[in-house]
């Protein structure tokens, strides 16, 4: 028995595999709930209700989905050329840092101008943070997976230093926090959700067109398929890598701006809420397609919001709710392997 890569992925087969994975996940999670003394149907219904049951819950799910979506598109740009940017968390932190420095020091600017400058600062900081790994890859052939992963911890410790020392709010009575933003540094709301959802949808459309129909999108795709083909086509490989990695980090930096301005309204070590790591999974499940990423991000956000709801509605412990989420996630991820590979039971001669 061995795994063999499918040469041609049949769409109907891939759909059946994914549906089967979801069914298996529900069955396993249901058995787990039975052992806890809960009715699985009621709990699963509660998860849906907790994520989409009321207008306010839908809005909260959308707010949770926004950073996941933008960050997934961001890391997806790098993944498309097989540059493994695992540093979304750190890039979000640095984007939030750039936005915070502007928000705390340019308070006299009019709101539209201040928000624009904050956004630009976040994009630059996130992009440059990712570009560190790009430069090391291009000129020293380092392993970008390790570098971007380690930069996450550097960024986290840097934000911790700011929160506990360098930018600690003197009016917080000794509590380790950074001062809250003023009103002119906070993103406005549209239909009860901060304007980040509009930014996210614009990014979805722009990057779908960018990856499918632009010259650079073509270069990124060719580079991901084959370095030799890229060289033969006359593509400047080093330049393409650096530009794509900067764009990847810039989008994650934009997430930092949105989270700092619209959600936390300050900078803290909790600002990412794991969005950079979750974005990696979303990018792969959406097949690096920004349109599909919208659906996957909303489903992930719904899983998170629904998991939080069943804790209070059914008295399910936090750890048990996390296990249910993990079981569903594991089965869905496992299905992706069987979409790309098949089991061959023939004896190797």
**pLDDT tens sequence across 293-317:** 999 999 999 999 999 999 999 999 8
- DSSP letter for 348, please: P
- pLDDT mean over 237-266: 98
Residue 46 lies inside a defined structural domain of this protein: no
| pLDDT of 348 higher than 60 | no
Least confident of 70-74, 195-199, 287-291: 287-291
Residue 242 lies inside a defined structural domain of this protein: yes
> Helix (H) and strand (E) counts for the chain?
13, 4
- Alpha-carbon distances, residue 300 vs 99, 222, 241, 285, 292 (angstroms): 27, 30, 30, 11, 13
Beta bridge partners of 193: 190
* Confidence band, pLDDT 50/70/90 cuts, at residue 337: confident
Residue 25 lies inside a defined structural domain of this protein: no
- DSSP letter for 347, please: P
Residue 253 lies inside a defined structural domain of this protein: yes
> Residue 105 is part of which domain span?
62-298
CB 130 within 8 Å of CB 245: yes
Q: What is the pLDDT of residue 344?
A: 75
Q: What are phi and psi of 78, to 5 degrees?
A: -70, -40
* Higher-scoring residue by pLDDT: 142, 323: 142
Candidates 346, 201, 329; CA nearest to 277 is: 329
Residue 214: in which H helix or E strand, if any? none
CB 346 within 8 Å of CB 6: no
- pLDDT mean over 72-93: 97
Least confident of 12-16, 145-149, 235-239, 297-301: 12-16
CB 139 within 8 Å of CB 127: no
Give the pTM: 0.93
Residue 49 lies inside a defined structural domain of this protein: no
CB 92 within 8 Å of CB 256: yes
* Confidence band, pLDDT 50/70/90 cuts, at residue 349: low
* Confidence band, pLDDT 50/70/90 cuts, at residue 347: low
Number of domains in the chain: 1
- The mean pLDDT value of the chain amounts to 94
Greatest Cα-to-Cα distance within the chain, rounded to the nearest angstrom: 76
Candidates 293, 282, 294; CA nearest to 333 is: 282
- pLDDT mean over 115-142: 98
| pLDDT of 142 higher than 80 | yes
Q: Mapping DSSP to helix (H, G, I), strand (E, B) and coil, where does residue 290 land?
A: helix
Residue 56 lies inside a defined structural domain of this protein: no
Candidates 71, 125, 138, 70; CA nearest to 246 is: 125
Cα–Cα distance measured from residue 179 to residue 108, given in angstroms and rounded to the nearest whole number: 16
Cα–Cα distance measured from residue 90 to residue 95, given in angstroms and rounded to the nearest whole number: 9
Residue 182 lies inside a defined structural domain of this protein: yes
Residue with tokens 């097949």: 287
Cα–Cα distance measured from residue 167 to residue 172, given in angstroms and rounded to the nearest whole number: 11
| pLDDT of 1 higher than 80 | no
Q: Residue 323, class by beta-carbon neighbours within 10 Å (0-12 exposed, 13-18 middle, 19+ buried)?
A: middle
Cα–Cα distance measured from residue 167 to residue 186, given in angstroms and rounded to the nearest whole number: 19
| pLDDT of 287 higher than 90 | no
Residue 151 lies inside a defined structural domain of this protein: yes
Strand pairing report for 189-190 and 193-194: antiparallel
């Amino acid at each position: 028995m061995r795994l063999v890569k499918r040469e041609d992925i049949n769409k109907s087969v891939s759909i059946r595999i994914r549906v089967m994975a979801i069914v298996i996940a529900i069955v396993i999670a249901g058995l787990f709930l039975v052992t806890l003394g809960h009715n699985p149907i009621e709990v699963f219904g509660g998860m849906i209700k907790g994520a989409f049951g009321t207008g306010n819950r839908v809005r909260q799910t959308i707010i949770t989905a926004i950073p996941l979506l933008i960050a997934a598109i961001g890391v997806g740009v790098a993944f498309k050329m097989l540059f493994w940017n695992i540093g979304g968390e750190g890039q979000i932190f640095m984007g939030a840092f750039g936005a915070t420095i502007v928000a705390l020091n340019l308070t006299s600017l009019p709101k539209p101008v201040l928000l624009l400058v904050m956004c630009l600062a976040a994009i630059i900081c996130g992009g440059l943070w990712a570009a560190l790994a790009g430069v090391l890859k291009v000129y020293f052939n380092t392993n970008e997976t390790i570098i971007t992963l380690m930069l996450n911890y550097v960024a986290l410790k840097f934000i911790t230093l700011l929160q506990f020392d360098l930018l600690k709010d003197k009016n917080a009575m000794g509590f380790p926090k950074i001062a809250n933003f003023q009103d002119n540094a906070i993103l406005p709301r549209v239909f009860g959700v901060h304007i980040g959802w509009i930014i996210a949808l614009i990014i979805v459309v722009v990057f779908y067109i960018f990856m499918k129909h632009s010259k650079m999108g073509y270069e990124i795709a060719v580079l991901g398929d084959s370095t030799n083909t890229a060289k033969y086509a006359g593509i400047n490989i080093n330049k393409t890598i650096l530009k794509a990695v900067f764009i990847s980090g810039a989008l994650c930096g934009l997430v930092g701006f949105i989270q700092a301005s619209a959600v936390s309204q300050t900078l803290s070590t909790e600002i990412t809420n794991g969005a950079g790591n979750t974005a990696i999974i979303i990018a792969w499940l959406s097949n690096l397609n920004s349109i599909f990423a919208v659906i996957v991000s909303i489903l992930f956000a719904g899983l998170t919001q629904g998991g939080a709801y069943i804790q209070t509605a059914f008295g399910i412990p936090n750890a048990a709710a996390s296990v249910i989420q993990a079981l569903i996630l594991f089965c869905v991820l496992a299905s992706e392997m069987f979409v790309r590979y098949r089991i061959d039971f023939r004896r190797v001669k």
